[in-house]
Amino acid sequence: MSEGFYYDVAALLIPEAVSLLKEYEHPRKDELLRAGDRLRHVILSAYERLRSASLPAEVSRFREIMRYGLLSLKRVYAEGDWRSHVFFNEVLLEAEATRYLLEWLFSVLTIPPGSVLLDVNSVAPLFSAKIGTRIGAKVVLSLEERLAEIPVVREVVDEYFRRYGVDGRVLRVGMRFSADMPKETADGIFFGSLDSWVIGWDTILSVASASLKPRGVLACLLPANFREGLRTLLDFWGIPPYPEPDVAATQLKNMKFRDVRINRHGPFYAVVAQKR
């Protein structure tokens, strides 16, 4: 029932995001400035639906977190302050829906002790740090060069490894993920952060296929932004639309993954699958 609220809340944040765009230089400013006009009907409908509705607490929290995310974009582009980007990543993982799905992933993900877990583009690698602590996995955090060069990102990653007592290291990769990632070396691979979502579903599939060992496990926390509202809102971070869960499951089976399990909660879904 509350699922629709998430999309309406996301739609209503778009005018705020557009308004904030005027205060800083976003690389796709012109295109995004037109989003408000293009989605006028979606926004009006969302407004009508929410006008007399009482929002569940988890949806209000999600709105507050995403609103902060918009401010974090401004801080990054206008002030070069990446601290807020890190913080936004962290608080987004604490929203009710993401927290629920991460717990689910945590409970179903089975990789043997001493395994190598590849975490892709997480500036706050909470999930891999927890898995690393639980089963003694070695964590390899692959970070795009543009992220790995930011001092605060390096410090936060080191902080997660230290505070969770994880055997972890950073692997710098270029923008062409598929080419730069290690081949068939990972027992598990995780995509579950804003910056990992930016690379898109097709790249996730090809990176997972190439990097996982046979019987390696793919774990994803993904945005359900195949629906409007969230689709355009996440476009402010350059996140492309992700497929509907059943489409994602079919694609995974076609890519020779088995035991595909999907759990949807609010505006996100989680995927676990094993490479044959």
Partner 1 sequence: MSIAIKVLKVRCPACDSEHIIQVTPEVLREADQNPLGLTGLAFPHGDHVLVVYVDRLGGERGTRVFRLFQQPAARGFAEVRVPPSELQGLRNIGGFWVELGRLGVRVGTEPSASAVSLKAKKGATTLELDFNRDIGYQTARLWLEMLLDAFDTSYSSELRDYVNAVKALDLLLEEKPFEYARQVLWLLSNASTITIRLRMPEARLLREVRPSLFFERYDGGFVLKVLESSGSTVGELLSGALPQVLFSSAEAILALHRRGVIDLVVT
Binding region for partner 1 (CB under 8 A): 61, 64-65, 68, 71, 75, 81, 83-84, 86-87, 90-91, 93-94, 124, 126, 152, 154-160, 162-164
State which residue, 99 or 264, has the beta carbon closest to partner 1.
Answer: 99
Q: Rounded to the nearest whole angstrom, what is the least distance from the CB of residue 159 to partner 1 in the complex?
A: 6
State which residue, 137 or 248, has the beta carbon closest to partner 1.
Answer: 137
Q: Rounded to the nearest whole angstrom, what is the least distance from the CB of residue 17 to partner 1 in the complex?
A: 16
Q: Rounded to the nearest whole angstrom, what is the least distance from the CB of residue 66 to partner 1 in the complex?
A: 12
State which residue, 86 or 111, has the beta carbon closest to partner 1.
Answer: 86
Q: Rounded to the nearest whole angstrom, what is the least distance from the CB of residue 273 to partner 1 in the complex?
A: 26
- SS3 per-residue string spanning the chain: CCHHHHHHHHHHHHHHHHHHHCCCCCCCHHHHHCHHHHCHHHHHHHHHHHHCCCCCHHHHHHHHHHHHHHHHHHHHHHHCCCHHHHHHHHHHCCCHHHHHHHHHHHHHCCCCCCCEEEEECCCCCHHHHHHHHHHCCEEEEEEEHHHHCCHHHHHHHHHHHHHCCCCEEEEEECCCHHHHCCCCCEEEEEECCHHHHCCCHHHHHHHHHHHEEEEEEEEEEEECCCCCCHHHHHHCCCCCCCCCHHHHHHHHHHCCEEEEEEEEECCEEEEEEEEC
State which residue, 86 or 117, has the beta carbon closest to partner 1.
Answer: 86
State which residue, 35 or 117, has the beta carbon closest to partner 1.
Answer: 117
Q: Rounded to the nearest whole angstrom, what is the least distance from the CB of residue 86 to partner 1 in the complex?
A: 6
